[in-house]
Amino acid sequence: MKSRSALIAVGSAGLLLVAGATTATVARAADLPPGAPPGVCSADAEYGPPLASPTITAARLFGGQAFLEGPVWIADHGYLLMSDMAAATGPERVQPSRILRYTPGSVAVETAIADSGSNGLALSPDGGSVVAATHDRRSISRYQLADSSRETIAGDFLGAAFNSPNDVTIRSDGVAYFTDPDFQRGGRADAMQGRTSVFRISGGTVSLVDDSLKEPNGIALSPDGGTLYVGAYGENKIYSYSVRADGSTGERTQFASIAGPDGATIDCAGNVYWASGTDGLVHVFSPDGAEFGTIAAGAGSTNVAFGGDDRKTLFVTSGRTGDFGLYSVRLGVPGYPY
């Protein structure tokens, strides 16, 4: 693993709005902010197995979309947002995208933001905005839920443009981590000189976590905030990093291996759910890396998120380009909204 200690300011807007931290389900060091979004996981709750059997199947809710990614559950309003990416256009071959809104029980999918430029989505700690990996501007952006206004959080590292930020996760204190593969860079200049990396945003600065991974993709934090998970799509591996109280990361170890690890989420027991773009399954692991089983959801699963009133409904974006759909299945443990 390569590392760099240099930092760069990302603008006067600062980082993310921060709500009061809640106690995570998993025991943690007193000075370590939890990784679970505030209010999601109950303190000292006990959970059973996440899956009713080693292989279960999710039901298709709708289809016919271009390429769905980044689902995020907005509990305050009872709907799910997700990115829908179209085919690349223009001389720079950049994929346009929009954010769709799905309300359970409805028969229609609505456009929430027509030109979002987004891929992976996360919910800010205060619940008032969606933080997006936005490949259109090669940035991390914030969209306010109230009026859909957009603000850039991070736009470069040491003056160099990112490749095409793909996915993002946020600690309860507002520290954010994101992946930067080159999938949506298109014909734009390679300012990263062939490196595909993982970055951290903290206190208005961007710092490097790791620039030695091949196409880092999905990213998630454990409920206790002590572990960062990253899927290296080009390596067919999922890695974990220890996380310190200040948000900096330590040693990298291999957590699991699946074909084409794409997006991920975590439940309140610390179990890890990883979508595979290769076998189309969602692979479910215990916190120590043992595989519980898989969830089938069409072909080419891209991402996952928990939602519903009790956050025990797992939503899965999956399909083939031009006919992507949203799937859902009820599980035994509540989990993260993205």
Which residue ranges make up the annotated binding site? Answer: 69, 166, 217, 262
* Helix (H) / strand (E) containing 280: none
Residue type, 17: L
Compute the half-sphere exposure of residue 335: CA atoms within 13 Å on the CB side of its CA. Answer: 30
From CA 168, how far away is CA 206, in angstroms rounded?
A: 13
Strand pairing category for 249-256 and 261-266: unpaired
Helix (H, G, I), strand (E, B) or coil at 229: strand
Return the ∠ at Cα 154 (arms to 12 and 208), rounded to 5°. Answer: 120
Q: CA-CA distances (angstroms) from residue 296 to 57, 68, 95? A: 5, 17, 27
Tokens 């990416």 identify what position? 85
Could you please report the per-residue DSSP string of 75-108?
TTTTEEEEEEE---BTTTTBPPEEEEEE-TT-S-
Find, among 175, 199, 169, 183, the residue nearest to 272 by Cα. Answer: 169
Q: Cite the annotated binding site for a divalent metal cation by residue number.
A: 69, 217, 262
Q: Cite the annotated binding site for substrate by residue number.
A: 166
Residue type, 21: A
Active site residue 262: yes
From CA 9, how far away is CA 194, in angstroms rounded?
A: 23
Residue tagged active-site, from 246, 262, 309, 310: 262
Give catalytic residue positions: 262
